[in-house]
Amino acid sequence: MSVATPYFDRLFADNDDPWAFRQRWYERRKRALTLAMLTRPRYASIFEPGCANGELSAELAPRCDRLLCGDTAAAAVALARGRLLGFAHARVEQSRLPAQWPTGQFDLIVLSELCYYLDADDLRRVIDHALACLTADGQVLACHWRPAIEGCPQTAEQVHTTLHERLHMQRVASHHETDFLLDLWSRDGTSVARLEGLR
């Protein structure tokens, strides 16, 4: 069973940064690596579900023309909206996946520290939704903490294996270390150098 919304509500009940995204070097470094993994300087439309308090969102916003963020916890949505006040092209909605998937098309979907909260069936549904709304050259970026998390139905390895098998897209960038997995899949497997005419 996927982790229910009240779990996240409790995390944010008396803490505006329950994972210490702002304070911990681990989190700041991981965001930098996540952004560096992206093969394009700018995207037309990005969807970031599970945005929490919007720390990654605020760094994705300058890289796109439209940013849609979502979270299941009302407090997280309010925090993310505050974090993104300076970006008129960014919107944050309260939603629970996979049932409340947004309409529209995206050329980048960011699944950061989200999918191990989903059971196998819900993860498959999320991937199917992602495939249905990705543009012809769309990309999916996933980043997940490797150690097992109590109460989570899946591990990072299980999540990234399922993503790779079900997306049927080329993995164009990958960074794996002891603490986390970071992968980028793309419908267009052209390398950054080739995109810039270097070979």
Q: Can you give the pLDDT of all 199 residues of the chain as single tens digits? A: 888 888 787 877 888 887 778 889 999 999 999 999 999 999 999 999 999 999 999 999 999 999 999 999 999 999 999 999 999 999 999 999 999 999 999 999 999 999 999 999 999 999 999 999 999 999 999 999 999 888 899 999 999 999 999 999 999 999 999 999 999 999 987 787 777 777 6
**Residue 59, C-beta contacts closer than 8 angstroms, at least 6 positions apart:** 31, 35
Predicted model pTM: 0.94
Q: How far apart are CA 61 and CA 63, in angstroms?
A: 5
* CATH no. of 5-195: 3.40.50.150
Distances (CA, A) of 41 to 35, 52, 58, 128: 10, 24, 15, 26
Helix, coil or strand: residue 177: coil
